[in-house]
Amino acid sequence: MNWAAVDLAIIGPALLAGFLVVATHVPLGRSVLNRGIIFIDLAIAQIAGLGVIAASVFGWETDGWEVQLAAVTAAMVGAVLLHWTEKKFAAIQEALIGVVFVLAATLGLLLLTNNPHGGEQLKDLLVGQILWVSYDQLLPIGALYALVLAIWYWVDVPNVNRLLFYLLFAITVTASVQLVGVYLVFASLIIPALATRGYVEKSRLWIAYAVGAAGYLTGLVTSALWDLPSGAMIVWCLAILGVVAGCLTPKKTVPATTG
């Protein structure tokens, strides 16, 4: 155990990145869970990652605007496709989402076949490099997330416009997957929403936020203390705290019957 490694100069930007992801992914995750399209986040995240991989194949700089454009374009095309399949094939939508995910993942592998750094790039997309984020990098992400949340609540997106839901989801996940990786995107969306599904509505959102924020905090601190991969540790901390929150769900009282 190395307490000296718990340095705010190192984990501070990563922690802020986690809080920003939680801020947007908790409400999006609740909507995903309510719609029963649990794996849409994995599919869209994988499609966004495919856009990044395709951009690298063309030799574009990782931090260049071309890569961001490729990633968000790929994700939005995927979102429009899934919105169309939801209208046309609603009964098998979840299965189609799984197929899209597998196709995007395997196409990414094919594109990276002759890339000497392909394995490292794929790992970064899946697990993320949250400890390498900087405050400067988080400024545009924070502005984007604020805009997404403003539209989300102002328009009441989940209940009003399904296409807008898919497009906002694609934009948000595209930014997040490059920030924290596919695995953390999925965990941040689903675990807090799943853990709090039994709570009353007025407290459910805030408890989900608490689970998400605490998961990132404990995951980052634990990974620093024992020199473990941060992304994987955060996923496990989110899962453990999610189980705890689920176990603490208030018991519903059953009205007594007379007669």
Q: Residue with structure tokens 């995927």?
A: 78
139 belongs to a structural domain: yes
34 belongs to a structural domain: yes
pLDDT tier at 131 (50, 70, 90 boundaries)? Answer: confident
258 belongs to a structural domain: no
Distance between CA atoms of residues 194 and 208, nearest Å: 9
256 belongs to a structural domain: no
Enclosing domain of residue 166: 3-247
Distance between CA atoms of residues 80 and 76, nearest Å: 6
- Residue 259: is its pLDDT beyond 60? no
80 belongs to a structural domain: yes
Distance between CA atoms of residues 29 and 195, nearest Å: 11
**Mean pLDDT in the chain?**
85
Number of domains in the chain: 1
82 belongs to a structural domain: yes
204-220 per-position pLDDT tens digit: 999 999 999 999 999 99
254 belongs to a structural domain: no
- Residue 9: is its pLDDT beyond 80? no
pTM recorded for the entire structure: 0.85
Q: What CATH number is associated with residue 152? A: 1.10.3470.10
Q: Give the tokens for residue 172.
A: 């948000």
110 belongs to a structural domain: yes
pLDDT tier at 163 (50, 70, 90 boundaries)? Answer: confident
